[in-house]
């Protein structure tokens, strides 16, 4: 008998013995049990590997956001940790400091205003007769110039300092009339543009001129974004509309690039200036947030979106509203404003969750009717805004809940 035949007989005998001991049902049950056990072992190994991978991704993400949160905006003098956004010419550096001291305004606001008026030019003049770096009208220069040269940086900035001191002094009692309205610095800057007798100023309001309202916003945004030291909030001018403390923030989309800012834009044709009505679609001509995008993402899901700081998840309407996740800042240092993250391809949190700085909350996406490419649209809403308020909703005074997020994010080094 050959070796093969012997092995065959042994094999048959073994099978026969098993069948005799447990029967066919028992044999089938045992086979199924072994298969299930092996499957369970493989699933546990897979889940463990997945959990480890997720933890590694989270740890890497948190490290990247922490490392990337150092503010890069420099002062007017070019000091700080990064490249200067706007450099004040050498001939203006000391005059700007002196004008700030005379007027009582922060240097950042002085620099931003002269940048807006003339770009620090000593030769520019306007069609209506304004002259010099501070663009004085002849009658105003005669009062505050004290016989100096309107085109000379020192003389012009000295006259500017005296004039802004006057405007700030007369604006303080006007600002007191409207509690919670524009502060004295904004009213003074508005007066510089529109004149002291412009409508609204006496009641503590910015004049109802689109030019003046844009002028004030440009200067105060520029003071924060272009001239602030290490992104610290500009003192005295209340540049951001939300009070901020010392809370440390991370970049909400590490590796992303700023692609679109807050404010007016021309998308919807046929709309009148200032018409941002939801019903006719003209609201598309005002961007209520700021956009950040991962380069090369196209229309596919992009990078991981993370919580800039410790926060509570207060609303996740998800795909019902452009893939939104809404957080309330709860770091104990900054105001409890709401942050809206829109167009997310995935939402990885639920209402009631608490997230720490750098924790993933979703994936950058292209969801919603107003999205035309993968990006993160980030908005800020004033402290006290009820959860789940959507962009363009207003309070009982008719005021928007939304505020400009860019000065906030710039101060925190998150943009």
Q: What does the pLDDT look like over 361-400, one tens digit per residue?
A: 999 999 887 777 899 999 999 999 999 998 889 998 888 8
pLDDT value for 241: 63
Query: Are 121 and 211 members of one domain?
Result: yes
- Whether the model pTM is above 0.75: no
Higher-confidence residue of 224 and 184: namely 184
pLDDT value for 143: 96
Catalytic residue among 57, 77, 108, 117: 117
Q: What is the CATH number of the domain that holds 141?
A: 1.10.530.10
Residue 69: pLDDT above 80?
no
Query: Are 205 and 133 members of one domain?
Result: yes
pLDDT value for 180: 61
Q: What is the CATH number of the domain that holds 341?
A: 2.70.70.10
- Residues shown for the chain: 415
Q: Which helix (H) or strand (E) holds 172?
A: helix 153-177
Phi, psi of 139, rounded to the nearest 5 degrees: -65, -40
pLDDT value for 36: 52
CA distance 277 to 183: 28
CA distance 176 to 298: 50
Task: Flag whether 286 is in a domain.
Answer: yes
Is 117 an annotated catalytic residue? yes
Residue 236: pLDDT above 50?
no
Rounded to 10 degrees, the C-alpha dihedral 241/243/249/253 comes to: -20
Kindly report each contact of residues 318-327 with a partner whose C-beta sits within 8 Å and lies 24 or more positions away, as own/partner. Answer: 318/344, 318/347, 319/367, 321/368, 321/390, 322/367, 322/368, 322/369, 322/370, 322/371, 322/377, 323/347, 323/362, 323/365, 323/367, 323/368, 324/390, 325/349, 325/361, 325/362, 326/387, 326/388, 327/355, 327/361
pLDDT range class, residue 43, cuts 50, 70, 90: very low
pLDDT value for 228: 63
Task: Flag whether 55 is in a domain.
Answer: no
Domain range spanning residue 208?
90-231
Query: Are 263 and 350 members of one domain?
Result: yes
Query: How does the average pLDDT of the chain come out, rounded?
Result: 79
166: which residues sit within 8 A by CB, 6+ positions away?
Answer: 144
pLDDT value for 52: 38
pLDDT value for 262: 83
Task: Flag whether 141 is in a domain.
Answer: yes
pLDDT value for 376: 96
Would you give the end-to-end CA distance of the chain in angstroms?
85
Out of 62-71, 130-139, 179-188, which region has the weakest mean confidence (pLDDT)?
A: 62-71
Report, as an integer, the average pLDDT of 310-335. 93
Query: Are 220 and 293 members of one domain?
Result: no
Task: Flag whether 178 is in a domain.
Answer: yes
Kindly report each contact of residues 386-389 with a partner whose C-beta sits within 8 Å and lies 24 or more positions away, as own/partner. Answer: 387/314, 387/315, 387/326, 387/328, 387/338, 388/314, 388/315, 388/317, 388/326, 389/338
Report, as an integer, the average pLDDT of 112-121. 95
Closest CA to 189 of 164, 169, 226: 164
Report, as an integer, the average pLDDT of 158-174. 95
Query: Are 261 and 405 members of one domain?
Result: yes
Query: Are 163 and 289 members of one domain?
Result: no
User: 145, 154 in Cβ contact below 8 A?
Assistant: no
Cα–Cα distances in angstroms (integers) from residue 49 to residues 44, 62, 156, in the given order: 8, 20, 68
Residue 138: pLDDT above 80?
yes
Q: Left (φ > 0), alpha (ψ -120 to 50) or beta: where does 264 sit?
A: beta
Report, as an integer, the average pLDDT of 347-354. 96
- Domain count for the chain, please give it: 2
The tokens 């990885």 sit on which residue?
Answer: 348
Query: Are 292 and 227 members of one domain?
Result: no
Report, as an integer, the average pLDDT of 258-282. 81
Residue 237: pLDDT above 50?
no
Query: Are 261 and 407 members of one domain?
Result: yes
Cα–Cα distances in angstroms (integers) from residue 377 to residues 136, 285, 287, 372, 391, in the given order: 40, 15, 10, 11, 11
Task: Flag whether 181 is in a domain.
Answer: yes
Q: pLDDT tens across 296-318, in order?
A: 888 889 999 999 999 999 999 97
Task: Flag whether 22 is in a domain.
Answer: no
Q: What is the CA radius of gyration of the chain?
A: 31
Query: Are 271 and 334 members of one domain?
Result: yes
pLDDT value for 162: 97
CA distance 285 to 123: 35
pLDDT value for 39: 53
Q: pLDDT tens across 97-116, in order?
A: 999 999 988 888 899 999 99
DSSP 88: P
Residue 157: pLDDT above 90?
yes
Query: Are 171 and 219 members of one domain?
Result: yes
Query: Are 383 and 283 members of one domain?
Result: yes
Task: Flag whether 103 is in a domain.
Answer: yes
Percent of the chain with pLDDT over 90: 48
The tokens 């991962």 sit on which residue?
Answer: 294
Residue 244: pLDDT above 60?
yes
CA distance 108 to 227: 5
Task: Flag whether 382 is in a domain.
Answer: yes
Query: Are 267 and 386 members of one domain?
Result: yes
Report, as an integer, the average pLDDT of 333-359. 95
């Amino acid at each position: 008998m050959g070796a093969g035949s012997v092995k065959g007989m042994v094999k048959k005998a073994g099978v026969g013995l098993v069948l005799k001991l447990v029967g066919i049902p028992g044999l089938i049950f045992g086979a199924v049990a072994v298969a299930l056990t092996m499957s369970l072992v493989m699933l546990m190994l897979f889940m463990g590997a997945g959990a480890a991978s997720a933890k590694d991704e989270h740890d890497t993400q948190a490290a990247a956001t922490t490392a990337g949160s150092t503010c890069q905006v420099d002062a007017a003098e070019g000091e700080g940790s990064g490249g200067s956004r706007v450099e004040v010419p050498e001939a203006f550096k000391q005059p700007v400091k002196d004008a700030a001291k005379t007027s009582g305004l922060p240097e950042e606001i002085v620099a931003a205003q002269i940048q807006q008026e003339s770009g620090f030019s000593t030769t520019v003049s306007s069609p209506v007769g304004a002259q010099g770096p501070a663009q004085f009208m002849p009658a105003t220069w005669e009062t505050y110039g004290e016989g100096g040269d309107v085109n000379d940086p020192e003389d012009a900035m000295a006259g500017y300092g005296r004039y802004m001191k006057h405007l700030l002094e007369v604006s303080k009692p006007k600002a007191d009339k409207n509690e919670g309205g524009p502060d004295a610095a904004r009213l003074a800057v508005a007066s510089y543009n529109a004149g002291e007798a412009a409508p609204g100023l006496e009641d503590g309001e910015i004049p109802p001129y689109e030019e003046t309202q844009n002028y004030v916003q440009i200067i105060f945004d520029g003071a924060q974004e272009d001239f602030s030291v290490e992104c610290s909030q500009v003192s005295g001018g209340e540049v951001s509309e939300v009070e901020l403390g010392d809370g440390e923030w991370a970049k909400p989309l590490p590796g992303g690039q700023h692609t679109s800012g807050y404010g007016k834009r021309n998308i919807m044709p046929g709309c009148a200036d200032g018409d941002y009505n939801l019903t006719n679609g003209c609201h598309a001509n005002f961007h209520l947030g700021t956009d950040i995008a991962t380069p090369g993402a196209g229309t596919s899901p992009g990078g991981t979106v993370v919580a800039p700081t410790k926060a509570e998840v207060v609303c996740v309407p998800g795909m019902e509203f452009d893939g939104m996740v809404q957080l309330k800042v709860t770091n104990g240092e900054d105001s409890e404003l709401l942050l809206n993250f829109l167009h997310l391809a995935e939402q990885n949190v639920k209402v009631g969750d608490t997230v720490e700085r750098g924790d993933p909350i979703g994936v950058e996406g292209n969801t919603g009717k107003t999205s035309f490419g993968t990006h993160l649209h980030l908005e800020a809403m004033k402290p006290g805004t009820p959860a789940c308020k959507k962009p363009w909703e207003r309070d009982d005074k008719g005021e928007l809940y939304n505020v400009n997020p860019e000065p906030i994010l710039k101060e925190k080094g998150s943009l």
